[in-house]
Amino acid sequence: MSMSFGDTLRLPDLPEASREGQLKGLFYATEHVAQVAAAHAPIEDHTLEQSVVASQNADSMVGAVSFDTPYAARQHEELDWQHDDGRTAKYLENALNSERATSLALIGREVRKALEG
């Protein structure tokens, strides 16, 4: 199972019995990061904030968070642009980094539940 945080975080091989927990945890982790990132995304008319998508691939056990607007990448990278209070460039990168421990805890919780039966 891997989870991308700008780089790839590899978790140890886990028993097949934990697979459902891994996927459920990945769902909760990507949804959590998406919520945090959206809360810090620059706003004009909320289009960027509302375009956030958390997705998971059950086959590869990879999760992703993305923003689906033509300007999302530029808005993310422009450090000199003015933003409302609490809104910032690097909104996704910052959320991935700041929520890493929470994401791992969410995955761990679901894996433990699956293994406990």
Domain ranges of the chain: 2-116
pLDDT digits (tens, 9 = 90+) for 13-71: 778 888 999 999 999 999 999 999 999 998 877 899 999 999 999 988 889 999 999 88
For residue 111, give every residue at least 6 positions away whose Cβ sits within 8 Å of its Cβ, in sequence order, or none.
14, 18, 21, 22, 25
Look up the pTM and report it. Answer: 0.86
Which of 28, 102, 106 lies closest to 63, judged by CA? 28
User: Is residue 113 predicted with pLDDT exceeding 60?
Assistant: yes
DSSP class of residue 70?
A: T
SS3 16: helix
Q: Round to whole Å and give the CA distance between 1 and 66.
A: 20
Torsion angle, alpha carbons of 82, 68, 93, 64, to 10: 170
